[in-house]
Amino acid sequence: MSKPFYITTAIAYPNGRPHMGHAYEAVTTDVIARFKRLDGFDVRFLTGTDEHGLKIDQAARAAGQEPKAYVDAMVEPFRALDDQLGINFDRFIRTTDTDHKALVQELWRRMAANGDMYLGRYEGWYSVRDEAYYDDAELVDAVDSAGNPVRLSPQATPVEWTVEESWFFRLSAYQDRLLALYDGQPDFIQPVSRFNEMRSFVAGGLSDLSVSRTSFSWGIPVPDGAETGPSHVMYVWLDALANYLTGAGGLDGQWWPADLHVVGKDVVRFHTVYWPAFLMSAGLPLPRAVFGHGFLLNRGEKMSKTLGNVVDPSEMATRFGVDRLRWFLCREIAFGDDGSYSDEAIIERTNADLANGIGNLAQRSLSMVAKNLGGIVPAAQGEGGDSEAALHASFTALTQAYFAAMNAWALHKALEALMGLVSAANGYFAENAPWALAKTDTARMAQVLRATMDATRRIVLLAQPFMPESTSRLLDQLGVAPDARDFSGFNTIVAAGTQLPAPEGVFPRLTPEPA
């Protein structure tokens, strides 16, 4: 039986069209999921949409629609984007799904049975944009574009004073257990910068958390309404976080606990403070790790409707190609840090790595095999000499570096190692000049082509999580059988005598559009 691996993205608010930040999170999570599948794990990959709460309710009203009709329409571009980007999830969960509603109510009952819920009155600040409560000390005074004074959350979103009857969760009682969790399991929050931030937030003391709302009704009703008054709906983050349990198959679901929650840095607090406390309260196991990735910036600037720099990821994928976009996002941005994108950067990066790097390597060797050997894979002859030994040594070291980086979720480092493999293979090819050997020593030429093809095969196998479509075409051209494409087939060389199809360029060079 292969080992299970359960991975999730955050679920997006469908109150607008998906943006590059959503595409980034979907792609990076999909890359990890694909890597784990190729590495022999039994992967469960969950993504979806977060559809309740005041923010969606207000957006629906502004659009003159009922919330459910509104989200039914708004969720479609999210699904379409996943489809276009090759996001290979196992379930697309919507928090309006029936099984999810039932699960959240059961989770609530378990937390209440543990004595952690009490009725009170919330008086304090709330940001609808973040769907978050903030303490006074966390806010800053600023002025809006019209010059009026406003108070802003740490995410620079406006807050409003809110007073209403509410259920509270005894979060304050979990401070010590949370600190013990962080100290005993430092990998729980990654990367380490987010760990430090969250640890000091919790060490500073926790207030109890308001977990229901009474001023609107677009949410999952708090159970046992007869006792509590029927009008409470659950705080949207309690509802949303529980999606990971629903997607695991329920409160006692076979996939729980999650191995990795991939989320953006702005929502790390919810995932590493509230979420483990809710789970402890309900007596459930905790996820193994939360990775907080950075924010994507458009030419170094925050994407915002006001700045008019919100780019449609679907349009980008159509223009540059899905695999180029996926490659760029994982290669250019250190996973965990903020990063910037622009058309020029995408073109430059993918021309260098894909057209000149991997594509060139594959083309040069495959076209020589086609021309000089009738497209028939030559036999691997002998051990080779120093040049083969050097190639072998750098492949061993860099392949190890690739796996170590992937298993530490350092996607950018894995691709750095992969590009190291590409230059080692390109260097080997240039040094041995098989085009010259074609005239002088065809047996040695065949040996060099064979070694280059095998190096290319390994590179393309490792590139699969990042570029599923183009690597599949390259593996076809290299004669790699469909059942020899996961990492267990890494050392399975293509049989001598295999007839290859005519080679065809997979990564044509892009030319920048004139400004």
- Interaction between residue 57 and ligand MSP (CB under 6 A): no
Helix (H) or strand (E) holding 210: strand 209-210
Nearest to ligand MSP of 24, 395 (CB atom): 24
- Number of alpha helices (DSSP H) and beta strands (DSSP E) in the chain: 21, 16
Nearest to ligand MSP of 128, 240 (CB atom): 240
Residue 365's closest CA among 500, 213, 193? Answer: 500
| Gyration radius from the chain CA atoms | 26
Nearest to ligand MSP of 250, 420 (CB atom): 250
Out of 280, 296, 401, 478, the residue judged to bind ligand MSP by CB under 6 A:
296
- Cα 313 → chain centroid: 15
**Can you read off the two tokens belonging to residue 211?**
């977990």
- Interaction between residue 11 and ligand MSP (CB under 6 A): yes
**Can you read off the two tokens belonging to residue 248?**
């695991």
- Interaction between residue 364 and ligand MSP (CB under 6 A): no
What single DSSP character describes residue 229?
-
**Can you read off the two tokens belonging to residue 154?**
């740490």
- Interaction between residue 93 and ligand MSP (CB under 6 A): no
Out of 6, 7, 10, 506, the residue judged to bind ligand MSP by CB under 6 A:
10
Angle at 22 between CA 106 and CA 411, to 5 degrees: 100
- Interaction between residue 55 and ligand MSP (CB under 6 A): no
- Tell me the C-alpha to C-alpha distance, in Å, between residue 255 and each of 18, 247, 259: 28, 8, 9
- Interaction between residue 453 and ligand MSP (CB under 6 A): no
Which of these segments, 21-29, 142-150, 418-426, 470-478, binds ligand MSP (CB under 6 A)?
Answer: 21-29
Report d(CA 187, CA 53) in Å as an integer: 31
Which of these segments, 168-176, 237-245, 440-448, 503-511, binds ligand MSP (CB under 6 A)?
Answer: 237-245
**Phi, psi (rounded to 5 degrees) for 310:** -80, 120
**Interaction pattern, residues 25-44, with ligand MSP; x per rule: CB under 6 A:** x-------------------
- Interaction between residue 219 and ligand MSP (CB under 6 A): no
- Cα 27 → chain centroid: 5
- Interaction between residue 303 and ligand MSP (CB under 6 A): yes
DSSP SS3 for 208? coil
**Phi, psi (rounded to 5 degrees) for 506:** -105, -25
- Interaction between residue 189 and ligand MSP (CB under 6 A): no
Which positions ≥6 away from 343 have C-beta within 8 Å? 512, 513
**Can you read off the two tokens belonging to residue 254?**
């076979």
Report d(CA 234, CA 52) in Å as an integer: 9
Out of 234, 263, 463, 506, the residue judged to bind ligand MSP by CB under 6 A:
263
Out of 5, 6, 24, 168, the residue judged to bind ligand MSP by CB under 6 A:
24
DSSP SS3 for 300? coil
- Interaction between residue 12 and ligand MSP (CB under 6 A): yes
CB of 259 to ligand MSP, least distance (A): 16
- Interaction between residue 277 and ligand MSP (CB under 6 A): no
CB of 134 to ligand MSP, least distance (A): 15
Report d(CA 181, CA 277) in Å as an integer: 10
CB of 241 to ligand MSP, least distance (A): 5
Classify strands 117-127 and 132-134 as parallel, antiparallel or unpaired. Answer: antiparallel
Report d(CA 188, CA 514) in Å as an integer: 47
- Interaction between residue 78 and ligand MSP (CB under 6 A): no
Q: Which residue is nearest to ligand MSP (CB)?
A: 264
Which of these segments, 18-26, 136-144, 496-504, 505-513, binds ligand MSP (CB under 6 A)?
Answer: 18-26
Which of these segments, 7-15, 192-200, 207-215, 485-493, binds ligand MSP (CB under 6 A)?
Answer: 7-15
Q: Check: CB of residue 94 under 8 Å from CB of residue 73.
A: no
- Tell me the C-alpha to C-alpha distance, in Å, between residue 188 and each of 194, 206, 289, 503: 10, 19, 4, 46
Out of 159, 241, 405, 415, the residue judged to bind ligand MSP by CB under 6 A:
241
Which of these segments, 20-28, 188-196, 199-207, 419-427, binds ligand MSP (CB under 6 A)?
Answer: 20-28
- Interaction between residue 295 and ligand MSP (CB under 6 A): yes
Which of these segments, 10-18, 177-185, 216-224, 377-385, binds ligand MSP (CB under 6 A)?
Answer: 10-18
Out of 31, 103, 260, 267, the residue judged to bind ligand MSP by CB under 6 A:
267
User: By CB under 6 A, how many residues form the interface with ligand MSP?
Assistant: 19
Residue 299 CB neighbours (<10 A): 12
Out of 90, 106, 208, 266, the residue judged to bind ligand MSP by CB under 6 A:
266
Nearest to ligand MSP of 303, 406 (CB atom): 303
**Can you read off the two tokens belonging to residue 92?**
């697309």
Nearest to ligand MSP of 46, 222 (CB atom): 46
Report d(CA 87, CA 128) in Å as an integer: 29
Q: Which amino acid is at 503?
A: P
CB of 22 to ligand MSP, least distance (A): 5
Out of 5, 6, 7, 13, the residue judged to bind ligand MSP by CB under 6 A:
13
**Phi, psi (rounded to 5 degrees) for 211:** -120, 15
Residue 488's closest CA among 6, 37, 32? Answer: 37
- Interaction between residue 258 and ligand MSP (CB under 6 A): no
Nearest to ligand MSP of 24, 133 (CB atom): 24
CB of 50 to ligand MSP, least distance (A): 3
Q: Alpha helix locations (H) across 360-432?
A: 360-373, 386-407, 411-432
Task: Please give the residue ranges that form the binding site for ligand MSP (CB under 6 A).
Answer: 10-13, 21-22, 24-25, 50, 240-241, 243, 263-264, 266-267, 295-296, 303
